[in-house]
Structure 1
Amino acid sequence: MSFMLDPDKPGYLYNQVAEHIEARIRAGELRPNEPLYAENKLANEYGVSLGTSRHAVRILCERGLLRVVPSKGVYVVPLDQVPDADEVASGVASCSCARS
């Protein structure tokens, strides 16, 4: 799945990166329980800063699509375990993105 940043699109670049990674997860390109690339590799792949790639990962953690395993990395959550948007918005779903 190719990706091209759209500098004219309203909003922040990290949202574009997060949307593309989410699309890759939902399309099965990034598989459940597999590690996501390191944030610096994501930054290089998308042509963005490390901070932008970190923010995109944080957004996806908050949505329940990724989880951080301390000392191991960031992993893709199986889609059947991803909370729905209402749970995320209401705070019922907990973010597993806290780093120690």
Structure 2
Amino acid sequence: MVRKTGRPGYLQIADDLRAQIRGGSLPPGEPLPSTAQLAEQYDASLSVVKMAVGLLRNEGLVIGQQGKGVFVREPDDTAEGDQADEAGTAPAEDLTGEVVKLRTAVQDLSRRLSRIEERLSQQSGS
């Protein structure tokens, strides 16, 4: 279940799934539960679950197989899941993960810029 800790739900879900993969309870080749099952398990929305799975795809821990599901990547798999699909477009989950990373980076930079502007205004007011 996603807790109200201030940490985004998709990161909590990704952390838990990552721990299960690294701990062996989700071994290589094992399918992840469906998005709907994960949403129910974590009491989260489908979009939050998709962002979490997208992060794991970007990290190379899981790989999607169209029409079959998302599977824990075998250790010897190449980075083919990080490449574009046959149509030449990146999978939607990969793009979602990238958008999440970019949003997080922008939020961090915005906070840092605000602190710098505040310090500058204090110095010029002194």
> Is the TM value for this pair above 0.5?
yes
Partner of 1:58 in structure 2? 54
Partner of 2:4 in structure 1? 7
Which TM-score applies when normalising by structure 2? 0.60
CA 1:29–1:74 in structure 2 vs 1: closer, same or farther (change >3 Å)? same
Q: Percent identity?
A: 31
Partner of 1:95 in structure 2? 82
**More RCO (CA 8 Å, sep 6+):** 1
RMSD over equivalenced CA pairs, Å: 2.4
1:6 Cα offset (Å): 2.7
Q: For 1:1-100, what aligned pairs fall within 5 Å after superposition?
A: 4-8=1-5, 10-78=6-74, 80-81=75-76, 95=82, 98=91
CA distance in 1, matches of 2:81, 2:70: 16
Alpha-carbon contact 1:64-1:93 (below 8 Å) kept: no
Alpha-carbon contact 1:33-1:75 (below 8 Å) kept: yes
State the SS of the aligned residue for 2:27.
coil
User: Number of matched residues?
Assistant: 86
Structure 2 residue runs without a partner (length 5+): 84-89, 93-126
CA distance in 1, matches of 2:8, 2:77: 24
CA distance in 2, matches of 1:46, 1:82: 28
Q: Which runs of 4+ in 1 moved over 2 A?
A: 80-83
Structure 1 residue runs without a partner (length 5+): 84-91
